[in-house]
Amino acid sequence: MFKIFSSLRKEFLLLINDKTGLALLFLMPLLLVFIITIIQDSAYKMVNENQIALLVVNKDAGKEGGKLVNTLKKSGLFKIDSQDQIEQSALKKELLARGKLIALFIPPTFSAGLESNAQDVSNILMQDLGLESDSTTREKVDMPRLAFYHDPVLQENYSQSVMGIIQSYMGMIENSLMIDRMYASMDLGNKSEVLKEKMISNRVKIDPIVASNNNSTVLPNSTQHNVPAWTIFAMFFMVVSLGSNIVKERINGSFLRLKTMPTTFMLVMFSKMAIYVMVAVLQVALTFSMGIWILPRLGLPQLTVPENLIALLAVTFVSSMAAVSYALMIGAFARTEQQANGFGAISIIIFGAIGGILVPTFVMPAFMQTASNFSPLHWCLEGFYVLFLKGGSWRELGLVFSFLGIFILICQLATYFKLRIERIL
């Protein structure tokens, strides 16, 4: 027991004496989570919330303009900012000043123009049917024009899509108005509702089908992505501290000296693994605490801890073991500390990029999404996604654990055989 305690104590002392390593292990993830979450938050909001910020100026004297605004609001597609006091001449300037990308101007004659047009259509129909049309003399008002303002930074297809949506709602309003006019001309009173329901609401529906690799429709927010992502990145970055620590001991002869002593080398490796798994668990505790308590104070989404705490512990432990095993392997194969630090750090950045740490895999092209399966960091991140977005489903975690288990086994075996070749084991 004293031997195990001494071995753990030695690893702990080596760790706390490595100030650069400690900074990389604990300060780096906090800074990365803090900075990247702030940077990416607006991008995630655009992807996740699907609400288009729209400045609306409704100058309509009638009620149809209000109907259009309400329809746009109810659609859930737009985040409407109604500013009816703004004059059309000042709208361009206001749009830029308010940081909005698109604006809709509804003219004062909007309702009058629509009603006039509906009356014309009704009259034509009555005449064609040989019925008496409404002879009441009404002022002829031209068909109104909506003004759609958009920032030139927006892609044309985006602007066209938004106009298409508005046009679609306009069609509903116009049709409703025409049906009302025709029924009124035929003195059918309020019986138009059935026809309106049939014509406007009962249309061909389009079923959206997800075509992503994992069929998941749930996407993480910036906190749910960045907190685990950069924690995993930092966990794997222990390769710089642990990897070079092993190289140093190999080169300076400490390992060989231990071979002349009545102890097992497995104790040395066990102590290293135990201390660095604890480091990884501390990293998770630290960055998750930041996600829970500090990020919300900055107006960022709060990290909600999954209910399945056992799954959270399991994912944390398996991810830690993957990071530790990788660091051991690099330490066993590198010939110098520089090699361990250089190759270790670069390989983690590449694994991170492929694995969706830097940029989430769901925005990557299909072939890169396939390539991400070869990154251990991707599977660690998948594990945390399962916790945050799917409630920690054990069935889905099974795949994550299987891949990481194979990765851990490969790294441990490679380390074992390399140290055997060097006669350290």
Q: Can you give the binding site for other proteins, defined by CB under 8 A?
A: 2-3, 5-7, 9-10, 13-14, 17-18, 249, 252-254, 256-263, 423
The Cβ of residue 27 has, within 10 Å, a number of other Cβ atoms equal to 12
Instruction: Calculate the dihedral angle through the C-alpha atoms of 207, 211, 217, 223, rounding to the nearest 10 degrees.
Output: -140
Q: Which of 32/332 has CB closer to other proteins?
A: 332
Q: Which is nearer to other proteins, 18 or 151 (CB)?
A: 18
Q: Minimum CB separation from other proteins for residue 36, in Å?
A: 32
Cβ distance to other proteins smaller for residue 252 or 338: 252
Structure tokens at 39: 């940077």
Min dist. Cβ of residue 251 to other proteins (A): 8
Q: Could you give the C-alpha distances from 267 to 1, 244, 332, 390, 409, in angstroms and in order?
A: 11, 19, 16, 39, 18
Q: Could you tell me the smallest distance in angstroms from the CB atom of residue 255 to other proteins?
A: 8
CA angle 15, 20, 23 (to 5 degrees): 90
Taking the complex as a whole, the smallest distance from the CB of residue 322 to other proteins amounts, in Å, to 27
**What is the C-alpha to C-alpha distance for residues 66 and 349, in angstroms, rounded to an integer?**
53
Cα(252)–Cα(250) distance, integer angstroms = 6
Q: How far apart are CA 49 and CA 249, in angstroms?
A: 52
Identify the bridge partners of residue 148 per DSSP, sorted by sequence position.
Answer: 104
C-beta of 117 vs 241, nearer to other proteins: 241
Between 161 and 254, CB nearer to other proteins? 254
Write down the least CB distance from residue 5 to other proteins, Å.
8
CB atoms within 10 A of CB 153: 7
Report which of 137, 159, 136, 173 is spatially closest to residue 60, judged by C-alpha positions. 173
Kindly state the smallest distance separating residue 15's Cβ from other proteins, in Å: 10
Nearer to other proteins, 2 or 367 (CB): 2
Residue 253 Cβ vs other proteins, minimum distance, rounded to whole Å: 3
How far apart are the C-alpha atoms of 345 and 167, rounded to whole Å?
A: 53
Least Å distance between CB 208 and other proteins?
59
Q: In this complex, which beta carbon is closest to other proteins, that of residue 9 or of residue 198? A: 9
Edge-to-edge strand ranges of the sheet holding 52-58 = 78-82, 52-58, 102-106, 147-150
Do residues 147 and 105 lie in contact, with contact meaning Cβ atoms separated by under 8 Å?
yes
Choose between 14 and 219: whose C-beta lies nearer to other proteins: 14
Number of CB atoms found within 10 A of residue 403's CB = 20
Cα(399)–Cα(380) distance, integer angstroms? 11
